[in-house]
Amino acid sequence: MVNLTIDDKQVTAPKTATIYEAAKMNGVNIPILCHDKKLKPFGACRMCLVEVEQMKGRQIPACTTPVTEGMIIRTATPDIVKARKMVLELLLLNHPLDCPVCDKAGDCDLQNLTYEYKVDSNRFSDEKFHHEIDYNNPLIERDMNRCVLCGKCARICDEIVSYGALTFIDRGIETKIGCEFDEALNCEFCGSCISVCPVGSLLARPFKFKARFWSLTKEKSVCGYCGTGCGLTLGVKDNKILTTIYDENQGFHKGQLCVRGRFGYQFINSTKRLMKPLIKKNGVLTESTWDEALGLVAGRLKDAGSVAALATPRLTNEEFVLFKKLLDENVGTKNYDHAAGYAHSALTEGFVRSFGTSASSASILDIQKSDLLLVIKTDTYETHPVVGFEINMAVKNKGVKLNILSDKRGKLSKLPDAVTLVHRPGSEVALLNSIAKTILDEKLSNDAVASVPGFAELVSALSAFSAEAVADQCGLTAAAIKKLASDYASAEKTLIIFPTGQAYTGHNADLASAVANLAILTGKYGKEGCGVLCLSEKNNSQGAVDMGFYAQNGGLNGMQVLDACTNGTVKTLFIAGENPLTTYPNRSKVKAALDSVEFLVVSELFLSETAAMADVVLPVCSFAEKEGTFTSADRRVQYFKPAIRKNVQIKTDYEVFSDLIARLGGNAPASGSAVFKEISEGVPGYQGMSHVALKKDSAFASVVITPAFVIPQATSAIPVEQGKLALVIGSALYHNGTLSQYGEGPMHVCPEGYIEMSHSDASANKIANNDLVTVSSATGSLQLKAKISTRIPAGVVFAPYHFSDSPVNTIWSGSPVTFVTLAKR
């Protein structure tokens, strides 16, 4: 700490602080335009000029100058105020004063400073700029006439997003922020640039002319898409969500959002939302009343022996508990699951075997504290973009090493010094086992490891996995595998990250145990910056696991439930929010199951293709219309309250389940907080939590690790089918599950399914970008648009799985690798 004087006040500040930071810590506000606490100091705008007695007569920028012992700083002398006024006059010289039609008005740093410094006249005059406004994309408007060249957009796009869409182009008075060759903006549309723009140069187009900023109510919530658990501030007016608002202090991610979080909110107020219960009468879904619909459902649920349920991992923890209670106690069935049963197996089987707990042994906060990250699949960026930002920052700002094992390259591969081992699709587990084998052979394992249960068996089982033995199977060299093993073992703090989800069938219990073996062998778990982080797909996937809403004690799992529907043992299927017809493997099998089941109930926001097949459809609420808690992938439990009032005609899933419990003669808990009390008493790690406490701040559910080695099964190379391409499916950056199809933003930039392929496979099949291609596998064929990219290795094709209009499960039956042929239409 150093001692200094700011505006005649004796204060202290850390040695590393800048004058700006020291002042802020001590309650003195220095005006800024180009500075952002998340970005490196830049010193462009000169608004933060201060006087330091030791540097006589000079005005120095507070945002770039570090404090020193004994500094005497004055932040608001008449000279300083004069200088700041002049800076504003010069900025306003070119900045158009079109505040009445500017969406930024009311939230504009330049406007606020102009007001604060009473700049009501300008001694200079000059022409305004006449740059063309970029309206070429539907999400981000770029009006460079309003730009003050603070560079925050370009810097956030580089330092945090690592996309680099924007930069300073041209020189002198002509300088502006632009893209390559001054083209239209075409990026991943996370909107980070909008969030930091101090003026109205970068604006969210979906919000244009919707409302004045000051008429919005800011409602804190939690994002309802992926498992990262980002906080969200929703801008609400007249009970409608009109935009998302940036709050730099919100959450671990400091308000950073991805395209889904920022632009995907429209599904909440969508006109396509279901508003009335529907009952199938004479083969047609007809509007009905809640009483009739729930009465019908309750009647069917009484036949305990033939009931099964599938739930989406987007329900709240309270709803999962209630649904489970309904099924366990009032219906009397054990046949319930979420995420098709396999997407959570990494946690519920893999981690349970290896760590004795169904949760990750590390948190997202460990990413920036680690020394080396081992990421399984570059898709991690696409599935969890804000975790991707954390990885970007760790690598770019903290010098954390990044090693990637993946079946394709990706955005993460482009990070400085990132090492990407592109292996054959489906060979992940063999590869991880050979890394473990190398660690053992080279004596890089932790000394205490021999006492971990299963060590001796592991040593003998791994003998089949020498780097030389699996190198061919993985399409890598033994040397590359060995190098990776020694890098992993020799770094002091290492963290393994892998995504799971319905598209990633290969990221199963075996993969989870294989990575866990690595962490346990080297003792890299249970301490800061170390461990294994499983990024589960949806916003409450981890909560669904924690609440125990999955097949246990002989209950049928997700895929088995569908089989039982087909063979008639399950006669009533309750689907809460899942859309198996699009997201579960093997569409014809799913369709047959849903066709065969006698009675299908679907509670949904929208009339999804699954809901369209139902006998009863129950209209339910989105996260923004209910209260509850979500548990993020790293087990951060967050409370959220309704951001808007729900339509009186619809119910929350919570209300549906409690109504059904009552109809079946049971007693539903009085409230969500009462349910949460049960959770805090019964669920390991949730002790001491309550809605009241979580309203103030989120909390991590603690994880207790009991390590054990899991003996790897022998793996064999997936036989390559001659003349065919290996299809891997996964997530597109802009989407999460099928919900994002109703978020307008994601659909603007990624409206349909596609098949991504290498240049060589494209030219071998005479396919050009955007050609319609028929993709055929053993189970069917599907037409998809071709997308040619450099990131896909030859022999591999990739397709995202989110789209109802081009359902990939017609050609995918759940295997991690599907062999397909391509034919240009």
Partner 1 sequence: MSDVVAQQAEETEPEVDLSIADAIIDKYIDIPGNLMPVLQAAQDEYGYIPRAVADHIAERLNVYPSQIYGVLTFYAQFHLKPRGKFIIRVCVGTACHVQGAPRIVETFFDKLHIGHAETTADLRFTFEKVACLGACGMAPLAMVNDSTYGGMTVQKVDDIVADYSQRPLK
When the beta carbons of 158 and 390 are compared against partner 1, the nearer one is 158
Least Å distance between CB 170 and partner 1?
Answer: 5
Give the residue from 192, 237, 201, 233 showing the smallest Cα distance to 217: 237
Q: Using an 8 Å Cβ cutoff, are 783 and 761 in contact?
A: no
Question: Is residue 167 a contact residue for partner 1 (CB under 8 A)?
Answer: yes
Between residue 385 and residue 424, which ones bind partner 1 under the rule CB under 8 A? 414, 416
When the beta carbons of 119 and 169 are compared against partner 1, the nearer one is 169
- Who contacts 369 (Cβ-Cβ below 8 Å, separation ≥6)? 493, 528, 529
**Which of 178, 191, 388, 800 is close enough to bind partner 1 by CB under 8 A?**
178
When the beta carbons of 434 and 758 are compared against partner 1, the nearer one is 758
When the beta carbons of 30 and 44 are compared against partner 1, the nearer one is 44
**What mask, x for binding partner 1 by CB under 8 A, covers residues 751 to 790?**
---------------------------------------x
Question: Is residue 132 a contact residue for partner 1 (CB under 8 A)?
Answer: no
Between residue 181 and residue 200, which ones bind partner 1 under the rule CB under 8 A? 181-182
C-alpha–C-alpha distance, residues 150 and 45, integer Å: 6
Ramachandran class of 251: left when φ > 0, alpha when ψ lies in -120 to 50, beta otherwise: left
Give the residue from 304, 469, 495 showing the smallest Cα distance to 395: 495
Between residue 645 and residue 704, which ones bind partner 1 under the rule CB under 8 A? none
When the beta carbons of 748 and 791 are compared against partner 1, the nearer one is 791
**Which of 92, 179, 211, 607 is close enough to bind partner 1 by CB under 8 A?**
179
Least Å distance between CB 164 and partner 1?
Answer: 3
Stretch that binds partner 1, among 104-112, 176-184, 359-367, 737-745 (CB under 8 A): 176-184
When the beta carbons of 163 and 265 are compared against partner 1, the nearer one is 163
Query: Which residue matches tokens 């799971």?
Result: 500
- Strand, helix or coil for residue 77: coil
How far is the first Cα of the chain from the last one, in angstroms, to the nearest whole number? 69
Question: Is residue 164 a contact residue for partner 1 (CB under 8 A)?
Answer: yes
When the beta carbons of 74 and 414 are compared against partner 1, the nearer one is 414
Question: Is residue 813 a contact residue for partner 1 (CB under 8 A)?
Answer: no
Exposure on the CB side of residue 484, measured as CA atoms within 13 A: 30
Question: Is residue 716 a contact residue for partner 1 (CB under 8 A)?
Answer: no
When the beta carbons of 170 and 292 are compared against partner 1, the nearer one is 170
Least Å distance between CB 768 and partner 1?
Answer: 17
Least Å distance between CB 109 and partner 1?
Answer: 24
When the beta carbons of 106 and 164 are compared against partner 1, the nearer one is 164
Question: Is residue 742 a contact residue for partner 1 (CB under 8 A)?
Answer: no
C-alpha–C-alpha distance, residues 176 and 46, integer Å: 18
Question: Is residue 214 a contact residue for partner 1 (CB under 8 A)?
Answer: no
**Which of 98, 132, 170, 492 is close enough to bind partner 1 by CB under 8 A?**
170
Stretch that binds partner 1, among 109-117, 180-188, 332-340, 595-603 (CB under 8 A): 180-188
**Which of 4, 165, 668, 762 is close enough to bind partner 1 by CB under 8 A?**
165
Least Å distance between CB 371 and partner 1?
Answer: 22
Least Å distance between CB 373 and partner 1?
Answer: 18
CA dihedral 315, 318, 319, 323 (to 10 degrees): 130
When the beta carbons of 170 and 442 are compared against partner 1, the nearer one is 170
Least Å distance between CB 171 and partner 1?
Answer: 5
Residues facing residue 284 across a β-bridge: 281
When the beta carbons of 186 and 490 are compared against partner 1, the nearer one is 186
Query: Which residue matches tokens 């849903």?
Result: 594
Least Å distance between CB 139 and partner 1?
Answer: 18
Give the residue from 551, 496, 196 showing the smallest Cα distance to 341: 551
When the beta carbons of 182 and 472 are compared against partner 1, the nearer one is 182
Stretch that binds partner 1, among 160-168, 312-320, 717-725, 736-744 (CB under 8 A): 160-168
Least Å distance between CB 771 and partner 1?
Answer: 22
* Beta-carbon count within 10 A of 624 CB: 23
Least Å distance between CB 94 and partner 1?
Answer: 19
C-alpha–C-alpha distance, residues 362 and 494, integer Å: 10
C-alpha–C-alpha distance, residues 678 and 699, integer Å: 17
Q: Which secondary-structure segment (H or E) carries 140?
A: strand 140-142
Question: Is residue 168 a contact residue for partner 1 (CB under 8 A)?
Answer: yes
Q: Using an 8 Å Cβ cutoff, are 580 and 562 in contact?
A: yes
When the beta carbons of 98 and 170 are compared against partner 1, the nearer one is 170
C-alpha–C-alpha distance, residues 753 and 806, integer Å: 6
Give the residue from 416, 422, 423, 440 showing the smallest Cα distance to 488: 440
Q: Which secondary-structure segment (H or E) carries 696?
A: helix 691-696
Q: Describe the crossing of helices 385-398 and 152-159 by its angle, rounded to 10 degrees.
A: 90
CA distances from 2 to 41, 49, 280 (A): 20, 21, 74
Stretch that binds partner 1, among 177-185, 201-209, 680-688, 768-776 (CB under 8 A): 177-185
CA distances from 726 to 608, 755, 810 (A): 30, 12, 16
**Which of 58, 171, 645, 696 is close enough to bind partner 1 by CB under 8 A?**
171
Give the residue from 23, 21, 74, 82 showing the smallest Cα distance to 50: 74
The C-alpha angle 612, 613, 617, rounded to 5 degrees, equals 60
- Strand, helix or coil for residue 106: coil
Q: Using an 8 Å Cβ cutoff, are 522 and 296 in contact?
A: no
Stretch that binds partner 1, among 161-169, 189-197, 202-210, 635-643 (CB under 8 A): 161-169
Least Å distance between CB 497 and partner 1?
Answer: 22
Q: Using an 8 Å Cβ cutoff, are 503 and 729 in contact?
A: yes
Least Å distance between CB 742 and partner 1?
Answer: 32
Residues facing residue 421 across a β-bridge: 405
Q: Using an 8 Å Cβ cutoff, are 437 and 808 in contact?
A: no
**Which of 51, 109, 134, 158 is close enough to bind partner 1 by CB under 8 A?**
158
Question: Is residue 169 a contact residue for partner 1 (CB under 8 A)?
Answer: yes
Residue 770 burial (10 A CB sphere; 0-12, 13-18, 19+): exposed
Least Å distance between CB 157 and partner 1?
Answer: 9
Interface with partner 1 (CB under 8 A): 158, 163-171, 178-182, 414, 416, 790
